[in-house]
Amino acid sequence: MHEWALAEAVASAAIRIAKEEKLKSISIVNVSLGELQQVDVEIFKFALSEIKSNIPMLKDADFNVKIVKAEFKCRVCGYRWTFRREVLNEEVQEAIHFIPELAHSFIRCPNCSSPDFEVVKGRGVWLESIVGVK
Amino acid sequence: MADPRISIIEERLRNIKHIIAVSSGKGGVGKSLVASMLALILARKGFNVGLFDLDFTSPSTHLILGVEGLMPEEDKGVIPPLTNGIKYMSITYYSGKNVSPLRGSDISNALIELLAITRWNSLDYLIIDMPPGISDSTLDLLRLVRRVKFLIVTSPSKLAFETVRKLIALLREMNFPIIGLIENMDMKGSPYIREMAERLRINYLGSIPFDFALEDALGDVNALLKTKFSESLMKIVDEIYN
């Protein structure tokens, strides 16, 4: 239920931004989830629906969740490749789920075997935008 | 638009009374030992204590405390397991014995992730074992955990103290409180570090003699608590907290 902690973070950030923007209520929250994080979207959405029901400013909000495919670029040879969860064992999937940076412990550049690569996209959780009523 | 994890960090740390970063300008001065033993001593005094190993690329507190076979429980985040009376969090739960070659931005992201998802709940003290120096982890901690206080460790070496001087300058410039300075691995009883601390108006908390028995006690908490290192640190802790 690590998803719950991330959902709380999204709710907290949405409220903070709404207050900064002087919104009375929030109607739409657009969230991007990096594929590398391997968040269970159903659990994440369930957590959001539970959390929002206790927060007046957020209770009528719709959450749009978009998954961003993970892509890596090797800093040594420049090779680009995508994340393939299925080639990793369960323990490694779990480690990367909790701390996506541990991709550097378990994944190597398919071209030159370097662990020094960049996660070009598809890492983390991002609050893209919110829509609300002033 | 925004990284939502940062918004929840303050909430995650809300019920922690004191957050203490054990820090130094240089590696190899005994930060991890001081942090681990400080957590252990405070826990033995009956305080509710957490220990967070923030040295992601070279973690060692798990080896000092002999932590094996534990994993955080998942419950709306992750709950650090209890070891020797300490709530203990380390990247090694997930990385195991694998190397973690992380660049600065990766270290920042991993730090934010763990601060956002770890549920410490109520603590009297959260002790943070910092990596050496004043780069990403230190700057991120200063950015994200505004009420952290610093306990600085140095060896008697002039080289180590030069780097500590820079750490002190940074913390002062950014208005972060410094609890004081511990001189570790003292072999000659030189007054140099004490005098430098006085000159910089830093609280010199005491010295810990070089302890040849320490290496053999690593991983065995009961043996560690019987070392001269532990005895000296207990005196320092008593002076700080009595």
Predicted confidence (pLDDT) per residue in B205-230, tens digit? 999 999 999 999 999 999 999 999 99
Among A33, A72, A105, which would you mutate to test the B interface (most chain B Cβ atoms within 10 Å of its Cβ)? A105
In terms of Cβ atoms closer than 10 Å to its own Cβ (0-12, 13-18, 19+), residue A88 is middle
pLDDT band at B174 (very low <50, low <70, confident <90, very high): very high
Tell me whether A17 touches chain B (CB under 8 Å).
yes
pLDDT digit string, tens, across residues A52-79: 999 999 999 999 999 999 999 999 999 9
Largest Cα separation within chain B, whole Å, is 56
Among A54, A98, A114, A130, which would you mutate to test the B interface (most chain B Cβ atoms within 10 Å of its Cβ)? A98
> What is chain B's mean pLDDT, rounded?
95
pLDDT at B241: 74
pTM (predicted TM-score) = 0.95
On the question of pLDDT at B187 being above 80, the answer is yes
| C-alpha to C-alpha distance for B8 and A14, rounded to whole angstroms | 11
Closest Cα in chain A to B104: A101
Per CB-CB distance under 8 Å, the chain A contacts of B71 are none
CB contact under 8 A, B117 and A123: no
Task: Report whether B49 contacts B123 (CB < 8 A).
Answer: yes
pLDDT at B181: 97
Task: Report whether B154 contacts B23 (CB < 8 A).
Answer: no
Query: What is the least distance, in Å, from the CA of A134 to any CA of chain B?
Result: 20
CB contact under 8 A, B7 and A9: yes
Of B86, B92, B82, B38, the C-alpha closest to B62 is B92
Task: Report whether B34 contacts B111 (CB < 8 A).
Answer: no
pLDDT at B2: 85
Per CB-CB distance under 8 Å, the chain A contacts of B75 are 1
B212 half-sphere exposure, CB direction, 13 A CA radius? 1
When pLDDT is averaged across residues A3-25 and rounded to a whole number, the result is 94
The backbone torsions φ and ψ at residue B66, rounded to the nearest 5 degrees and listed phi first, read 65, 40
Look up residue B186 and give its DSSP letter: E
On the question of pLDDT at B66 being above 70, the answer is yes
Of A26, A9, A1, the C-alpha closest to A124 is A9
Extents of the domains making up chain A: 2-68+122-133, 71-121
CB contact under 8 A, B11 and A6: no
pLDDT digit string, tens, across residues B144-169: 999 999 999 999 999 999 999 999 99
pLDDT at A124: 87
pLDDT at A134: 87
Sign of CA dihedral B214, B215, B217, B220: positive
Per CB-CB distance under 8 Å, the chain B contacts of A4 are 76-77
> Could you tell me the two tokens for B26?
């240089």
More confident residue, B12 or B2: B12
pLDDT at B59: 96
Length of chain A counted residue by residue: 134
Extents of the domains making up chain B: 5-241
Buried/exposed A96-112: b ≥16 CB within 10 Å, e otherwise: bbbbbbbbbbbbebeee
pLDDT at B239: 86
| C-alpha to C-alpha distance for B135 and B214, rounded to whole angstroms | 29
A101 half-sphere exposure, CB direction, 13 A CA radius? 20
3-class SS letters over chain A? CHHHHHHHHHHHHHHHHHHHCCCCEEEEEEEEEEHHHCCCHHHHHHHHHHHHCCCCCCCCCEEEEEEECCEEEECCCCCEEECCHHHCCHHHHHHHHHCHHHHHHHCCCCCCCCCCEEEEECCCEEEEEEEEEC
> What is chain A's mean pLDDT, rounded?
95
Among A102, A108, A120, which would you mutate to test the B interface (most chain B Cβ atoms within 10 Å of its Cβ)? A102
pLDDT at A72: 98
pLDDT at A7: 95
The backbone torsions φ and ψ at residue A92, rounded to the nearest 5 degrees and listed phi first, read -70, -40
What is the number of other CB atoms lying within 10 angstroms of the CB of residue A56?
10
CB contact under 8 A, A104 and B101: yes
pLDDT digit string, tens, across residues B95-143: 999 999 999 999 999 999 999 999 999 999 999 999 999 989 999 999 9
Sign of CA dihedral B102, B106, A35, B12: positive
Query: What is the least distance, in Å, from the CA of A88 to any CA of chain B?
Result: 14
Query: What is the least distance, in Å, from the CA of A118 to any CA of chain B?
Result: 9
On the question of pLDDT at A1 being above 80, the answer is no
Alpha helices in B127-220 (DSSP H): 136-144, 158-173, 192-199, 214-217
Of the options 2.40.50.100, 3.90.950.10, 3.30.950.10, 3.30.2320.50, the CATH number for the domain spanning A2-68+122-133: 3.30.2320.50
CB contact under 8 A, A98 and B113: yes
Angle formed by the axes of helices A41-52 and A2-20, nearest 10°: 50
Of the options 1.20.1260.10, 3.40.50.300, 1.20.1250.20, 3.30.465.10, the CATH number for the domain spanning B5-241: 3.40.50.300
Per CB-CB distance under 8 Å, the chain A contacts of B2 are 13, 17, 126-127
Q: Which residues, other chains included, contact B69 with Cβ-Cβ below 8 Å and sequence gap of 6+?
A: none
Sheet holding B82-83, edge to edge: B82-83, B86-89, B49-53, B123-129, B16-23, B148-154, B178-186, B204-209
Query: What is the least distance, in Å, from the CA of A87 to any CA of chain B?
Result: 18
Among B74, B113, B114, B120, which would you mutate to test the A interface (most chain A Cβ atoms within 10 Å of its Cβ)? B113
| C-alpha to C-alpha distance for A12 and B115, rounded to whole angstroms | 15
